[in-house]
Amino acid sequence: MKEILSGNEAIARGAWEAGVLWASAYPGTPSTEILEAVGALYQDDIHAQWSPNEKTALEAAVGASLGGVRALACMKHVGVNVAADPLFTASYTGVNGGLVLVTADDPNLHSSQNEQDNRNYAKFAKVPMVEPADSQEAKDFLKAAFEISERFDTPVLLRSTTRISHSKSLVELGERQELPRPTELERDIAKNVMLPAYARPKHPKIEQRLADLKAYGKDCPLNRVEMGDRSIGIITSGIAYQYAKDALPGASFLKLGLVYPLPDDLVREFASQVDQVVVIEELDPFLEEQVRLLGIDVAHGKDWFPIIGELSPDLVAERLTGQAVERRPAADGLPIRPPVMCPGCSHRGVFTILRKLKVYVSGDIGCYTLGALPPFQAMHACLCMGGSITMAEGLSRAVADDSDRKNQVVAVIGDSTFFHSGVTGLMDLIWNQGSSVVMIQDNRITAMTGGQVTPGIGKNLMGQDAPVIDIETLVKALGVAEENVRVVNAYDLDQVETVLKEELAKPEPSVVLTKEPCVLQYRVKAPALTVDADACTACGVCLRTSCIALGMVGEGDDEHVEIDPNFCTGCTVCAQVCKFDAIRS
Amino acid sequence: METLNLLLSGVGGQGVILASKILSKAALLQGLDIKQSEVHGMSQRGGSVVSHVRLGARVFSPLVAEGGCDVLLGFEPLEALRFAHWVKPDGVIVYNADRVNPSTVSAGMATYPDDVEARLAAQPCRTFRVEAGALAEKAGTRRAGNVVLVGAASRFLDLPADVWQRALDASVPAKVLDVNREAFRLGAEAV
């Protein structure tokens, strides 16, 4: 039976069919739906959990693997940076039950802060990597990855990209492989305790493992030679293969599924049978450099296919066929439609006040990062998950005179990001006696990735009741003075302003906490507000709250703001900024 | 059959994804190969959304090539015009006439051009205007505007009526099935 599955759903299915017993992840686009699917569909057979961050997700999966069961950890590309520490040494310990780490890369930065190519992690950590090109392969390659993991005693990386994870195609479903559950924990100190004395002899084993994997790659069914017209031989993998097949279906292909380590013999053999070799890959010249190192003449690679952004079917076709695609000019002068805080979003009022106070805002990763965009422009730095608090610490100490509010720093972080890695930053701030105000905007969900539960709300991924990790109690326990932990209502702009001013005046760290839930995930809606057209002066101040429920209508003396009742949630932020009392319940 | 390339462009929250699902399901029931692609994440927050749907005997790329679109379903005039140049000269644009202001317009930083529909009508391909919101309301709920557009698109896909019915049945909750069937029918009649 065939079903239409996204790459992420297919990976989840593959985990089930492979007999996986453990799956953990931290949400991150484009990887999120993998664990959502495992939790929703396969929780009877697989323990599925959101972890507070990618490092803990991978460590827990490593533990399950050492315990003897097949284990999966999933994350977006930058999540692997967080999990890199356990990854690099898990390469040394190897596995017991198979261990696969899925990295979902985001070429073109559809929803990410950088465009790193995580194939480089395979080389860096000296572990094999498989790369599927559609949903069927996503499922099949995950199953193969577990076999490679156990056969070669290594964690395996499966790399997806946005166009694999979020594309749907037909998948032939299979049955679950039931694997025996270990009855006791095996102890092997020399294998699993990475003291220098035990780690040192592992390194030569890892080099040998890579050599063995290179040899295996020659006959590995994940690598496929499709001989056709021998005038051009295309070496490719992942989504680039699909674009090339559409463009030049009759060409000769070496389609790599095991993209690291490169199967040298297979590449040499293929190259010797074609007139010219073309390497097609997104982002870095990862395959191309390895092919060139073999002494093979690559006719075209990154000279044709850009190192930046995604490839597209038309770009690949133009290069391969030498025929320019007829492009008509895009319609000009169209207003852009950037992402925006939802109507009723609890971040809107806070950013309205932060803009008004003119403080320096050290931001973090979540929906509230949209506070950096016009018309707010009230976030001045955002680097990585959890970085807001520690960056605020450095920023405040850098400036010679912080008596001017423009030199005062407020860190802004959401609940899920605070749990992820903001907690350690707050410890740093407290221990080292920084003075910043930390605004934790707890909207009771991981919102940007589509609404995943956090450690703070009393539920886990499988929908079971779970202990609540209470942020207010936590920050007090860490050492923020009782009187410096202030809970404010995100929709009460006067209160937010007053409390922020009071806390900014203090020399020690403060936490200002909001607890209003995400309107989208919790479907918060009060009756829509209305505008008194006579009272409205069309000054436009309310429009600067950037709410799509608001819009200017009429002309001349009739010009006034109107509120679309379909969008308005009655949050009253616009009414509170109106100087003419024109917006009413 | 030749691969058919569809683009569905709209605004996050308009039901572009469900519409893509119905189209894909219909192709599956007809025994065709199918690839569909969209981007989630940040774009969901009221931003532009585009979904690619390709169906045929054997489909490789999940993305439609620029200039290679056969049918563009625009869920909003501005978003239709944004992708109009992707449509082949012998292709079709079906668009919903109901405007949704971008945040840049709401915030007074930009204006909604008043010639959007005129520019759509001036495209070299055939263009059909559908009042999807009104038709959906007539069917029972304004929220079925996306299914009205799928109904309109069905006129340009050579699939039997019962396949569309089964695809619809499999994609929408049972309690709103009748409303959606009617929305589909009204959409198909509108072009």
3-state secondary structure A6-67: EHHHHHHHHHHHCCCCEEEECCCCCCCHHHHHHHHHCCCCCEEEECCCHHHHHHHHHHHHHC
Question: What is the spatial distance between Cα A91 and Cα A213, in angstroms, rounded to a whole number?
Answer: 14
Residue B43 scores a pLDDT above 70: no
Identify whether residues A101 and A158 lie together within a single domain: yes
Q: Give the angle subtended at the CA of A468 by the CAs of A463 and A473, to the nearest 5°.
A: 165
What is residue B108's predicted lDDT score, i.e. its pLDDT? Answer: 84
Identify whether residues A71 and A105 lie together within a single domain: yes
Identify whether residues A413 and A307 lie together within a single domain: no
Query: Where is the domain boundary, A201, A219, A237?
Result: A219
Residue from the list B39, B85, B111 with its beta carbon closest to the beta carbon of A331: B85
A336 part of a folded domain: no
Question: What is the spatial distance between Cα A315 and Cα A325, in angstroms, rounded to a whole number?
Answer: 8
Question: What is the spatial distance between Cα A148 and Cα A128, in angstroms, rounded to a whole number?
Answer: 8
Task: Spell out the domain ranges in chain B.
Answer: 4-189
Question: What is the spatial distance between Cα A131 and Cα A553, in angstroms, rounded to a whole number?
Answer: 52
CB contact under 8 A, A546 and B107: yes
Q: Give the angle subtended at the CA of A250 by the CAs of A245 and A253, to the nearest 5°.
A: 60
Question: What is the spatial distance between Cα B25 and Cα B138, in angstroms, rounded to a whole number?
Answer: 25
Query: Where is the domain boundary, A219, A241, A273?
Result: A219
Query: Where is the domain boundary, A469, A497, A522?
Result: A522
Separation in Å, CA of A240 to nearest CA in chain B: 9
Chain B residues with beta carbon closer than 8 angstroms to that of A448 = 41-42, 45
Q: Tens digits of per-residue pLDDT, B150-183?
A: 999 999 999 999 999 999 999 999 999 999 999 9
Give this prediction's pTM: 0.97
Question: What is the spatial distance between Cα A223 and Cα A226, in angstroms, rounded to a whole number?
Answer: 10
Residue from the list A4, A374, A540 with its beta carbon closest to the beta carbon of B28: A4
Instruction: List the domain range (segments joined by +) for residue A576.
Output: 530-584
CB-based contact A40:A120 (threshold 8 Å)? no
What is residue B137's predicted lDDT score, i.e. its pLDDT? Answer: 96
Identify whether residues A311 and A233 lie together within a single domain: yes
What is residue B45's predicted lDDT score, i.e. its pLDDT? Answer: 65
Query: Looking at the complex, does the CB of residue B178 fall below 8 Å from at least one CB of chain A?
Result: no
A vs B, Cβ pairs < 8 A, gives: 178
Identify whether residues A375 and A276 lie together within a single domain: no
Strands B87-96 and B69-74: parallel
What is the SS3 assignment for A363? coil
Identify whether residues A310 and A232 lie together within a single domain: yes
Residues 6 or more apart whose Cβ sits within 8 Å of residue A264? A214, A294
CB-count burial class (<10 Å; 0-12, 13-18, 19+) for A549 = buried
Residue A3: closest C-alpha in chain B:
B28
Question: What is the spatial distance between Cα A282 and Cα A313, in angstroms, rounded to a whole number?
Answer: 12
CB atoms under 10 Å from CB of B73, counted, come to: 31
CB contact under 8 A, A336 and B104: yes
Query: Looking at the complex, does the CB of residue B39 fall below 8 Å from at least one CB of chain A?
Result: yes
What is residue A327's predicted lDDT score, i.e. its pLDDT? Answer: 87
Chain A residues with beta carbon closer than 8 angstroms to that of B66 = 312, 314, 325, 327
Separation in Å, CA of B182 to nearest CA in chain A: 23
CB contact under 8 A, A312 and B109: no
Query: Looking at the complex, does the CB of residue B108 fall below 8 Å from at least one CB of chain A?
Result: yes
Give DSSP secondary structure letters for B11-64. ETTSSHHHHHHHHHHHHHHTT-EEEEEE--SGGGTTSEEEEEEEEESS---SSP
Residue A338: closest C-alpha in chain B:
B47
Residue from the list A134, A163, A340 with its beta carbon closest to the beta carbon of B46: A340
Amino acid at A338: P
Q: State which residues of chain A have pLDDT below 70.
A: none
| B168, containing H or E segment | helix B161-171
Question: What is the spatial distance between Cα A96 and Cα A110, in angstroms, rounded to a whole number?
Answer: 36
- CATH number for position A257: 3.40.50.920
Residue A315: closest C-alpha in chain B:
B65
Residue from the list B38, B42, B85 with its beta carbon closest to the beta carbon of A111: B42
CB-based contact B62:B52 (threshold 8 Å)? yes
CB-based contact A17:A177 (threshold 8 Å)? yes
Strands A22-25 and B87-96: unpaired
Identify whether residues A122 and A140 lie together within a single domain: yes
A333 part of a folded domain: no
**Dihedral angle over CA of B62, B66, B67, B71, nearest 10:** 50
Q: Give the angle subtended at the CA of A416 by the CAs of A414 and A419, to the nearest 5°.
A: 105
Q: Domain count of chain A? A: 4
Question: What is the spatial distance between Cα A562 and Cα A551, in angstroms, rounded to a whole number?
Answer: 5
Identify whether residues A505 and A553 lie together within a single domain: no
A337 part of a folded domain: no
Question: What is the spatial distance between Cα B32 and Cα B29, in angstroms, rounded to a whole number?
Answer: 7
CB contact under 8 A, B110 and A450: no
Residue from the list B21, B39, B112 with its beta carbon closest to the beta carbon of A166: B39
Residue from the list A29, A327, A338 with its beta carbon closest to the beta carbon of B67: A327
CB contact under 8 A, A331 and B81: yes
CB contact under 8 A, B67 and A314: yes
- Compute chain A's Rg from CA coordinates: 27
Which whole number is the average pLDDT over B102-115?
Answer: 89
Question: What is the spatial distance between Cα B144 and Cα B183, in angstroms, rounded to a whole number?
Answer: 6
Residues 110-169 of B with CB under 8 A from A: 110-113, 116, 119
Query: Looking at the complex, does the CB of residue B36 fall below 8 Å from at least one CB of chain A?
Result: yes
Q: Which residue has the tokens 């009460």?
A: A492
What is residue B41's predicted lDDT score, i.e. its pLDDT? Answer: 58
Residue A335: closest C-alpha in chain B:
B110
Residues 6 or more apart whose Cβ sits within 8 Å of residue A3? A170, A171, A173
Residue from the list A334, A341, A552 with its beta carbon closest to the beta carbon of B108: A552
Q: Which residue has the tokens 């007090």?
A: A476
CB contact under 8 A, A314 and B41: no
Question: What is the spatial distance between Cα A74 and Cα A96, in angstroms, rounded to a whole number?
Answer: 19
Chain A residues with beta carbon closer than 8 angstroms to that of B111 = 335
Residue from the list A169, A335, A370 with its beta carbon closest to the beta carbon of B102: A335
CB-based contact B58:B32 (threshold 8 Å)? no
Query: Looking at the complex, does the CB of residue B31 fall below 8 Å from at least one CB of chain A?
Result: no
CB contact under 8 A, A547 and B106: yes
* Cα A11 from chain centroid (whole Å): 16
Chain B residues with beta carbon closer than 8 angstroms to that of A543 = 106-108
Residue A339: closest C-alpha in chain B:
B47
Sign of CA dihedral A301, A303, A305, A306: positive
Strands A251-255 and A224-226: antiparallel
Residue B116: closest C-alpha in chain A:
A334
CB-based contact A158:A11 (threshold 8 Å)? yes
A148 part of a folded domain: yes
What is residue B40's predicted lDDT score, i.e. its pLDDT? Answer: 66
Q: Quote the ipTM score.
A: 0.95
Identify whether residues A172 and A63 lie together within a single domain: yes
Identify whether residues A30 and A54 lie together within a single domain: yes
What is residue B39's predicted lDDT score, i.e. its pLDDT? Answer: 77
Architecture of domain B4-189: 3-Layer(aba) Sandwich (3.40)
Identify whether residues A276 and A304 lie together within a single domain: yes
**For testing contact with chain B, the best of A548, A555, A560 (most B CBs within 10 A):** A548
Q: Tens digits of per-residue pLDDT, A151-198?
A: 999 999 999 999 999 999 999 999 999 999 999 999 999 999 999 999
> Binning pLDDT at 50, 70 and 90, where does residue B44 land?
low
Question: What is the spatial distance between Cα A238 and Cα A244, in angstroms, rounded to a whole number?
Answer: 11
A190 part of a folded domain: yes
Residue from the list B33, B46, B105 with its beta carbon closest to the beta carbon of A335: B105
- Each as own residue / partner, the long-range contacts of residues A295-302 (CB below 8 Å, 24 or more positions apart, any chain) are A296/A267, A296/A268, A296/A271, A300/A276
- Residue A235 has phi, psi (to 5 degrees) of -105, 125
Identify whether residues A368 and A471 lie together within a single domain: yes
CB contact under 8 A, A337 and B41: no
- CATH number for position A542: 3.30.70.20
A56 part of a folded domain: yes
Which whole number is the average pLDDT over B9-21?
Answer: 92
Amino acid at A177: Q
Q: Which residues pair with A512 in a beta bridge?
A: A439, A486
Average per-residue pLDDT in chain B? Answer: 94
What is residue A583's predicted lDDT score, i.e. its pLDDT? Answer: 98
